[in-house]
Structure 1
Amino acid sequence: MNKTNKTLHNLVDGNLYSRYSGLLSLSNISLHLIDTNGDILLEFNPSPDFCKLICQEDEKRICTDYLSRLKPGKGDRFNCRHGLENIVLPVVINDKTIGYIVGAQVYLPGNEYRKYLIDIMGIAKEKKLEPEFVAKAIAAIKTTEENKVEVHEQLCNHIAKNISYDFSESINSTDKAITRLSIEKEMLEKKILDLEAKNMSLVINPHFLFNTLNSIARIAYFEKSHTTEELIYCLSDLLRYNLKQDDELHTIGNEMDNIEKYLYIQKVRFKNRLEYDIDIAEDIKPHRIPNMIIQPIVENALIHGISPKRDGGKIKISAEKYKDKIDIFVMDNGNGFPKEVLQSLQQSESKLGIGFRSTDKRLKQYFGESYGLKIVKSDYSGSTITISIPTKPNARR
């Protein structure tokens, strides 16, 4: 890997997502950073399941329609073979294209009819999928007004330019924190105000919240309160992720990133009384799961298992992949659920029971009766909860 590609990958591995969290709240349609080979480096906003699980040969690589449009130094806006609107914008440094910002993957109102022309049975046979899954994935593709796609294109363009700036500064500066602050100042204070001025149905309240949090983080940085700064960025990401009200499947990797931020915040609170370990194999992370399934289970382990224990304890999240399913384990070595809480979990009329039962119901609605949530054990040695999902994309919703 040459110096240019190594620097780009280092940026993706850092706080790149956090830097754009305020801006990303303005749009909920797909947006990715890819390299020049078409490999997805960072998924800012997820693709529709139809694009991710059916059109793409690999979940980590964009589809062939995009690949044919990647031209150094040139942007594009085009309709794919199925009629979806797509955006491609180059990330350029020193006249060299190092990657692309791509996204949209929605229907404009005038093209929505084309979703009904897609050959469901042909695709199901070719991809070896259930026709019902293909049909529901097609039905879930969003239809978005032209003005909102135009705003999204401006977001893509702005992010592409700022990543170029970030890349350039990272080569020439040893102080990446200063680079980040410069980007945030330009991005959050200048460009968002410019977009708001266009009055094109932007989301105000989440943007105000994330912008405020990022401003506080900058103050913490200047005051050398680096733990506070990191906590604020984690909280900003948590809020943004938790505020998503869509009904799409998210990758297990994204869910784990969210949980790790939650546990990091709790670790600062509980100090030595909390330890945690997340051990998820790379081949499991691309599999998809309904949003906010795992985090409430982790929170219950902390509240009912670790918190009451004088010396605290440890939460471990792991997963096993079998032929036809994946089991995700949330384990703690706390005191176990109190007897009355355990009884509540088994009663649909209780608040706790409703939470666990609704989670189990959501999983079964997506994947079928063979999958769901199970309390494996809960006693003085701790608790273990399993979440079972299928290995193949045969979602029922």
Structure 2
Amino acid sequence: MDNHRKTLKNLIDPTIYSRYSGLLSLSNISLQLIDTDGDILLEFNPSPDFCKLICQNNETRVCSDYLSKLKPGQRDRFACGYGLTNILLPVEINGETLGYITGAQVYLPDSEYQKYLINIMAMAKDKKLEPEFIAKAIAAIKTVEENKVDVHEQLCNHIAKNISYDFSQSVHSTDKAIARLSIEKEMLEKKIIDLEAKNMSLVINPHFLFNTLNSIARIAYFEKSHTTEELIYCLSDLLRYNLKQDDELHTIGAEMDNIEKYLYIQKVRFKNRLEYEIDIADDIKHHRIPNMVIQPIVENAIIHGISTKRDAGKIKIYAEKYKDHINIYVSDNGNGFPKEVLQGLQQSQSKLGIGFRSSDSRLKRYFGEAYGLKIAKSDYSGSTVTIPIPTKPNARRS
């Protein structure tokens, strides 16, 4: 890997998503940063399941239609072989292409008919997938008005230019971070105002909240309160993730990223009284799960397992993969659930019961009755909750 590509990859830090959160709140259409070989470095907004799980040979690498377009300086809006509109914009410095911003992956109203021309049975045979899974993935592809795609392309272009600017600063290795952040803040605010004026329908209600949080984080940065800055960015990401109201499954990897931000905030709160470990193998992270079904279990482990301990408590999240299912475990070394809490799991007045029942019912609704939550252990040495999900992509909601 040459020095420029290495520097571009190094820009993928924990705050890069938050730096563009004001713009990203304007659109839920896919948007990714890739390198010149087509490897996906960061997903700002995820691709449709059809593109990620069916068209791409690898979830971490773009499809062949994109690969054929990756030429230095290439800038394009094109339709793929299945009729989806795609955007490709270069990330450049001094005329050299370092990577690309890609996105859209949607149907326009006049091309939506092409989804009905896809030969599902032939594709199922070729990809060795269940027809029902492919049909569901095709049905979930968004159809978007062309003017909204135009606005989304402006977002992509602005983010590409800002990443190029970040890269140029790292190459020259001059400590101009404060000046850069001030310039970037002004550019983002100006662009947001412009985009809101052009298409108010894309602005969502939490937009003001996220911008306010990020403004506070910038103040913390200038005051060198770096822990506060990180906490605010984590909170902003948590709120954004929690507000996703789509009915799609999310990857286990995305769920773990969200939970790690939550645990980071709790670690600052509890200090040495809390330790945590997340151990999820890479071949498990791409599997899908309803969003926000694990987080309530982790929260309960802290409230009922860790917060009551005087000495160090530990939470561990890990997973085991079997032939037809995956078990995700959330364990703690607390004192176990109190007897009255265990009895209250089935009662509406129990707060713990509400969280458990919500996660339990959502898992069963997506995957069937065999996939509800299980309390594998609860005694004086701690508790373990098991979250099972199927490995086969044709698992469907009942």
SS at match of 1:154: helix
Single out whichever of 337-346 and 46-55 deviates more from structure 2: 337-346
Single out whichever of 282-291 and 90-99 deviates more from structure 2: 282-291
Describe the shift of the 1:275–1:26 C-alpha distance in structure 2 as closer, same or farther (beyond 3 A): same
SS at match of 1:296: helix
The structural deviation recorded for 1:350 is 5.0
- Distance in 1 between residues matched to 2:119 and 2:373, nearest whole Å: 35
1:16-27 map, 5 Å: 16-27=16-27
The structural deviation recorded for 1:292 is 1.0
The structural deviation recorded for 1:184 is 3.6
- Distance in 2 between residues matched to 1:305 and 1:240, nearest whole Å: 27
- Distance in 2 between residues matched to 1:184 and 1:248, nearest whole Å: 33
Asked if the contact 2:151/2:199 (under 8 Å) is kept, the reply is no
Structure 2 counterpart of 1:211: 211
1:119-130 map, 5 Å: 119-130=119-130
Structure 1 counterpart of 2:102: 102
Describe the shift of the 1:180–1:340 C-alpha distance in structure 2 as closer, same or farther (beyond 3 A): farther
Structure 2 counterpart of 1:40: 40
- Distance in 2 between residues matched to 1:148 and 1:19, nearest whole Å: 22
The structural deviation recorded for 1:94 is 1.1
Structure 2 counterpart of 1:386: 386
Structure 2 counterpart of 1:71: 71
Q: TM-score, normalised by structure 1?
A: 0.95
Aligned length: 397
Q: Deviations over 1:3-43 (max 9, x none)?
A: 10111111114421121122111111111111111111101
The structural deviation recorded for 1:355 is 3.0
Asked if the contact 2:278/2:316 (under 8 Å) is kept, the reply is yes
Structure 1 counterpart of 2:335: 335
- Distance in 1 between residues matched to 2:270 and 2:318, nearest whole Å: 22
- Distance in 1 between residues matched to 2:324 and 2:103, nearest whole Å: 32
- Among the aligned pairs, what percent are the same residue? 83
- Look up the equivalent residue of 2:276 and give its one-letter code: Y
SS at match of 1:284: helix
Structure 1 counterpart of 2:244: 244
Structure 1 counterpart of 2:293: 293
- Distance in 2 between residues matched to 1:187 and 1:19, nearest whole Å: 12
- Distance in 2 between residues matched to 1:369 and 1:177, nearest whole Å: 53
Asked if the contact 2:196/2:203 (under 8 Å) is kept, the reply is no
1:139-154 map, 5 Å: 139-154=139-154
- Distance in 1 between residues matched to 2:177 and 2:77, nearest whole Å: 34
Describe the shift of the 1:113–1:378 C-alpha distance in structure 2 as closer, same or farther (beyond 3 A): same
- Distance in 2 between residues matched to 1:269 and 1:386, nearest whole Å: 26
Describe the shift of the 1:267–1:42 C-alpha distance in structure 2 as closer, same or farther (beyond 3 A): same
Structure 1 counterpart of 2:12: 12
- Distance in 1 between residues matched to 2:6 and 2:139, nearest whole Å: 39
- Distance in 1 between residues matched to 2:9 and 2:180, nearest whole Å: 16
Single out whichever of 350-359 and 243-252 deviates more from structure 2: 350-359
The structural deviation recorded for 1:144 is 1.3
SS at match of 1:167: helix
Asked if the contact 1:31/1:156 (under 8 Å) is kept, the reply is yes
The structural deviation recorded for 1:174 is 4.7
- Look up the equivalent residue of 2:24 and give its one-letter code: L
Single out whichever of 334-343 and 303-312 deviates more from structure 2: 303-312
Describe the shift of the 1:295–1:180 C-alpha distance in structure 2 as closer, same or farther (beyond 3 A): farther
- Distance in 1 between residues matched to 2:348 and 2:38, nearest whole Å: 48
Structure 2 counterpart of 1:322: 322
Q: Deviations over 1:76-131 (max 9, x none)?
A: 11111111111111111110111111111111111112211111111111111111
- Look up the equivalent residue of 1:271 and give its one-letter code: K
The structural deviation recorded for 1:364 is 2.8
Asked if the contact 2:48/2:105 (under 8 Å) is kept, the reply is yes
Structure 1 counterpart of 2:116: 116
Asked if the contact 2:297/2:355 (under 8 Å) is kept, the reply is no
- Distance in 1 between residues matched to 2:189 and 2:258, nearest whole Å: 26
Describe the shift of the 1:9–1:176 C-alpha distance in structure 2 as closer, same or farther (beyond 3 A): farther
Asked if the contact 1:50/1:141 (under 8 Å) is kept, the reply is yes
- Distance in 2 between residues matched to 1:135 and 1:117, nearest whole Å: 12
Describe the shift of the 1:109–1:60 C-alpha distance in structure 2 as closer, same or farther (beyond 3 A): same
Q: Deviations over 1:207-249 (max 9, x none)?
A: 2111111111111111111111111111111111111111112
Asked if the contact 1:33/1:99 (under 8 Å) is kept, the reply is yes
The structural deviation recorded for 1:204 is 4.5
SS at match of 2:50: helix
1:165-176 map, 5 Å: 165-175=165-175
Asked if the contact 1:170/1:179 (under 8 Å) is kept, the reply is no
SS at match of 1:59: coil
- Look up the equivalent residue of 1:115 and give its one-letter code: K
- Look up the equivalent residue of 2:359 and give its one-letter code: T
- Look up the equivalent residue of 2:128 and give its one-letter code: K
Q: Deviations over 1:341-392 (max 9, x none)?
A: 1112234675543432332232233233443321111121111011112223
Describe the shift of the 1:139–1:179 C-alpha distance in structure 2 as closer, same or farther (beyond 3 A): farther
> What CA RMSD, in Å, does the superposition of the two structures yield over aligned residues?
1.8
Q: Does 1:366 align with 2:366?
A: yes
Unaligned runs of 5+ in 1: none
Q: Does 1:264 align with 2:264?
A: yes
- Look up the equivalent residue of 1:98 and give its one-letter code: L
